[in-house]
């Protein structure tokens, strides 16, 4: 058995996983998320704000204490879209190093995609002849990764995410039809770009990861609270995903906030995340001529992939 620590710092949240790995499987010791909105305003300004950095550094200090309390296992810190885009990202890098003692890796979109795939498929039963599409709908980017049990086939990272597109398109509460139409067109364009590299027409199974996907799933299931054990592995008809996504998109924020499974840090951005997730699964259903009619939600994602990669590096 080997204990590892992993931190995933995205555009909307920073998450910690301390896990024990034995026989290739991870057992959670600590799994936490803090919504810090690191990427707030980055799409418009190109810079990480002082307030966003302060929120992120406070979470990093909390995580440093937890890692120490659990024996200081080997740690990998991965930063994604907002950190890639920001011209002052060195301030972020220096601040994380000072608090956690490791160099944060501002990974490429392709590496982010690979880690998401590894984490998602590590806990899902997948037949050898299945071509799986893992879709990671993040705050600043969305990753498309196709692969089989033998390995990756293709991956593409696109600059669309729930924070980025809320700021860019969905400014009103609730968003206007004109705003929704404009965002839908841009999402379609980026899905076209992804499809040029990732063979969506060959897909036999779709797996969605990250908070937008799991929240849409909770809404479709009408859960009485956020229940990971009910969400993980839930396979829903694409028609149900589309209906739940449309509902969340059109609800005013006050109504979203009242939903029992809605994280407070996701209230304002879930509409954009839901639209992206629904658009992707609808496109796959269309290009596979009815072969793919459902999609699966996974609570295991890039964070698990990072933890697995630490174990591989060390042992």
What is the spatial distance between Cα 40 and Cα 44, in angstroms, rounded to a whole number? 9
**pLDDT, tens digit, 9 for 90 and up, residues 236-257:** 999 999 999 999 999 999 999 9
In this predicted structure, what is the pLDDT of residue 110?
Answer: 78
**How many residues in total does the chain contain?**
315
Residue 23 has pLDDT above 90, yes or no: no
Asked whether 116 and 255 are in contact (CB, 8 A), the reply is no
Q: Is the dihedral of CA 209, 211, 216, 218 positive or negative?
A: positive
Q: Report the predicted TM-score, pTM, of the whole model to 2 decimal places.
A: 0.89
Residue 17: cis peptide before it, omega within 30 degrees of 0: no
What is the spatial distance between Cα 246 and Cα 263, in angstroms, rounded to a whole number? 18
Asked whether 224 and 253 are in contact (CB, 8 A), the reply is no
What is the spatial distance between Cα 176 and Cα 185, in angstroms, rounded to a whole number? 14
What is the spatial distance between Cα 184 and Cα 279, in angstroms, rounded to a whole number? 8
pLDDT averaged over the chain?
Answer: 93
**pLDDT, tens digit, 9 for 90 and up, residues 215-239:** 999 999 999 999 999 999 999 999 9
């Amino acid at each position: 058995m080997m204990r590892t620590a992993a931190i995933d710092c995205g555009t909307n949240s920073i998450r910690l996983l301390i896990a024990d790995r034995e026989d290739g499987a991870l057992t959670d010791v600590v799994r936490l998320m803090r919504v810090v909105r690191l990427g707030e305003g980055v799409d418009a300004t190109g810079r990480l704000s002082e307030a966003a950095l302060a929120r992120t550094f406070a979470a990093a200090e909390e995580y440093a204490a937890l890692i120490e309390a659990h024996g200081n296992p080997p740690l990998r810190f991965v930063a994604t879209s907002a950190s890639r885009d920001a011209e002052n990202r060195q301030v972020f890098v220096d601040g994380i190093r000072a608090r956690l003692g490791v160099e944060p890796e501002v990974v490429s979109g392709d590496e982010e995609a690979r880690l998401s795939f590894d984490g998602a498929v590590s806990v899902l039963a997948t037949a050898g002849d299945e071509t799986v599409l893992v879709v990671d709908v993040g705050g600043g980017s969305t990753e498309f990764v196709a692969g089989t049990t033998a390995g990756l086939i293709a991956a593409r990272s696109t600059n669309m995410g729930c924070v980025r597109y809320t700021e860019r398109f969905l400014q009103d509460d609730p968003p206007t039809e004109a705003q929704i139409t404009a965002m839908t067109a841009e999402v379609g364009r980026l899905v076209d770009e992804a499809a040029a590299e990732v063979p969506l027409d060959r897909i036999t199974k779709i797996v969605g990861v990250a908070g937008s996907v799991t929240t849409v799933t909770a809404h479709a299931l009408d859960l009485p609270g956020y229940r990971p054990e009910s969400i993980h592995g839930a396979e829903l008809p694409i028609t149900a995903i589309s209906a739940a996504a449309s509902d969340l998109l059109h609800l005013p924020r006050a109504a979203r906030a009242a939903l029992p499974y809605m994280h407070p840090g996701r209230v304002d951005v879930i509409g954009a995340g839901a639209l992206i997730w629904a658009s992707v699964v609808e496109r796959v259903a269309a290009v596979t001529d009815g072969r793919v009619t459902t999609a699966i939600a996974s609570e295991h994602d890039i964070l698990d992939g990072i933890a697995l990669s630490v174990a591989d590096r060390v042992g």
